[in-house]
């Protein structure tokens, strides 16, 4: 599943990088919990919660239905 998550994040990454940020995959657990870290400008942006929910979580769950949760660490 880790490879699938990396491929899905690769689709999101250019949008984040355009604004000076990025996303890093921290962990994918066996029970379907994905942990990511927003870096660069995204790490301290006041809109980072919206980026997580509307961008990263939505895309990952759409691309990989077996994902149960996406957490920012």
pLDDT tens across 11-34, in order? 999 999 998 999 999 999 999 999
Place of tokens 């006041």: 46
**Number of domains into which the chain is organized:** 1
Domain containing 30 — which CATH number?
Answer: 3.30.300.130
User: 59: domain range?
Assistant: 2-72
pLDDT at 42 over 90: no
Contact between 37 and 18 under an 8 Å Cβ cutoff? The reply is: no
pLDDT, mean of residues 37-41: 92
Length of the chain (residues): 73
Q: How far is CA 17 from CA 11, 21, 32, 42, 50, in A?
A: 11, 5, 26, 9, 16
DSSP symbol at 51: I
Q: Which two tokens stand for residue 43?
A: 């790490």
Q: Average model confidence (pLDDT) for the chain?
A: 93
């Amino acid at each position: 599943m880790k490879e699938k998550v990396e491929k899905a994040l690769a689709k999101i990454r250019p949008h984040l990088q355009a604004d000076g940020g990025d996303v890093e995959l921290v962990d994918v657990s066996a029970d379907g919990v994905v942990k990511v870290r927003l870096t660069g400008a995204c790490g301290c942006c006041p809109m980072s919660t919206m980026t997580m929910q509307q961008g990263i979580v939505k895309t990952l769950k759409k691309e990989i239905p077996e994902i149960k949760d996406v957490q920012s660490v």
